[in-house]
Amino acid sequence: MSKKGAANNLYDGIQVAVLGASGFIGRWVARTLCARGARLHLVVRDKASARAIFTPFKVEGDVVEADLRDPESVSSFFDCIRPAVTFNLVGYGVDRLENDESTAFKVNAQLVTNVCAAIARIRHREWRGRDIIHVGSALEYGAIGGNLDENSVARPTTFYGKSKLVGTCVLEESCKTLGIKGLTARLFTVYGPGEHSGRLLPTLIAAAHSGAPIPLTVGNQKRDFTYVEDVVEGLLRLGGVRTAGPGEIVNLATGRLLSVRDFAETGARIMKIPPDHLKFGAISTRVEEMEHSAVTIERLHRLTGWTPPTGVGEGIEKTLAFSASSVTERRVDDGV
């Protein structure tokens, strides 16, 4: 069997928990696991709104409404479901409206403590992969510059980055003391279908339809733009890793930097947005914007034998194609 075939069949029939399943990346993790035959348990804040999200993404599974800030709810869920592997995609503070620092530490850090304790009680000894894949953030590195090697001393500057870093440290310590197998996958600038409306690509898509000008920063800041389906493939491959350090951190990125200006101009060309509609310099660059060299991804390749292949132009085109197919399917369902 090829490596690709083995990766595709790894989760067939396996009990998998996806925490934060209705979020941008969570729904893609759920979609891919569903296609690969996993027995899914999808933890969400609101079941009704989650089902509306899952339908166009062809996600099926046991949808569980739970308050993951409550330790008893977390414990009860794991005792009942007993998943072989858990993907933790819960996060608080990415959305600018999520600005309560106390809640950030409860969701991004204390939850990891509670989940690890529950996994230690119920973990499947026969499952050879990781017990938990915890999703971290590039903002954990903070203002350190350089190539962001996973062994770098992190200096986060935002409450989101600080709370996510605590969660990463909690996972490592829990793996050491409780004997569970876990990894933290640090994500960078993920884009694709399902992004929040205020982000760069959805803004470009909306402007392509409305013809409105697009206020942007100068756009010189460089980011590692990673297409969402590549991120999911990386997460699932990391879930199957048999040998890794306790709570090992893995950069899940392309290893290639592109400026925001280049991303916007690429999207504009594909969507035929007039160049003069891109108003570079109309808004200020955020204070927390990071400056660093190309992201180091040697560890990702060593553990999985794979790196994200999708270029930005291809990723944008895939996003547009998915959106178009979703609209068509909704019209068919509505009898239009």
Backbone angles phi, psi at 184, to 5 degrees: -105, 125
pLDDT band at 328 (very low <50, low <70, confident <90, very high): very low
Give residue 273's pLDDT: 97
Number of domains in the chain: 1
Give the model's pLDDT for residue 3. Answer: 42
Domain assignment present for residue 220? The answer is: no
CATH of the domain at 149: 3.40.50.720
How far is the C-alpha of 311 from the C-alpha of 230, rounded, in Å?
A: 10
Closest by CA position to 138, among listed 45, 31, 257, 316: 257
Task: For residue 316, give Cα distances in angstroms to 32, 45, 157, 204, 219.
Answer: 19, 29, 30, 10, 18
Residue 8: inside a domain, yes or no? Answer: yes
Residue 102 and residue 130: Cα distance in Å, rounded?
29
> Would you say 333 and 325 are in contact if contact means Cβ atoms under 8 Å apart?
no
* Token pair for 21: 């399943």
Structural domain boundaries enclosing 98: 3-188+228-253+289-311
What local confidence, expressed as pLDDT, does residue 335 receive?
37
When pLDDT is averaged across residues 302-331 and rounded to a whole number, the result is 86
Q: How many Å apart are CA 220 and CA 285, to the nearest integer? A: 9
d(CA 72, CA 244): 30
Looking at residue 2, what is its pLDDT? 37
Please choose, from the candidates 183, 161, 189, 50, the residue with its C-alpha nearest in 3D space to the C-alpha of residue 112: 183
Cα–Cα distance measured from residue 47 to residue 184, given in angstroms and rounded to the nearest whole number: 27
| Predicted local confidence at residue 326, as pLDDT | 64
What was the pLDDT predicted at 125? Answer: 79
In a domain, 123, yes or no: yes
At 291, the pLDDT band (50, 70, 90 cuts) reads confident
pLDDT band at 99 (very low <50, low <70, confident <90, very high): confident
pLDDT band at 197 (very low <50, low <70, confident <90, very high): confident
Q: What is the DSSP letter of 155?
A: B
Q: What is the pLDDT of residue 7?
A: 58
pLDDT at residue 94 is higher than 90: no
Q: What is the mean pLDDT of the chain?
A: 91
pLDDT band at residue 21 using 50, 70 and 90 as cut-offs: very high
Task: Give 128-154 pLDDT, tens digit per residue.
Answer: 999 999 999 999 998 887 888 999 999
Range from 27-31, 279-283, 321-325 carrying the lowest mean pLDDT: 321-325
Q: How far apart are the first and last CA of the chain?
A: 44
Average pLDDT of the residues in 84-105 = 90
Q: pLDDT (tens digit, 9 = 90+) per residue, 159-186?
A: 999 999 999 999 999 999 999 999 999 9
Residue 281 lies in a domain: no
pLDDT at position 123: 87
Count CB-CB contacts under 10 A for residue 80. Answer: 10
Whether the predicted pLDDT of 308 surpasses 60: yes
Examine residue 26 and state whether it is found in any structural domain, yes or no.
yes
Task: Give residue 223's pLDDT.
Answer: 94
Nearest to 315 by CA among 191, 164, 148, 155: 191
Mean pLDDT of 110-134: 94
Region 286-292 average pLDDT: 75
- In the three-class reduction of DSSP (H, G, I as helix; E, B as strand; rest coil), residue 280 is classed as strand
Q: With pLDDT > 70 as the criterion, what percentage of the chain qualifies?
A: 94
Residue 333 belongs to some domain of the structure: no
pLDDT of residue 331: 38
Q: Quick: pLDDT tens for 35-93.
A: 999 999 999 989 999 989 999 999 999 999 989 999 999 999 999 999 999 999 999 98
Tell me, yes or no, whether 218 lies in a domain.
no
Ranges of beta strands (E only) in the chain are 15-19, 39-44, 62-65, 85-88, 132-137, 182-187, 189-191, 214-216, 222-223, 225-227, 248-252, 258-259, 278-280
The answer to the question of residue 204 being in a domain is no
pLDDT at res. 286: 78
pLDDT value of position 134: 98
Quick one: pLDDT at residue 299?
97
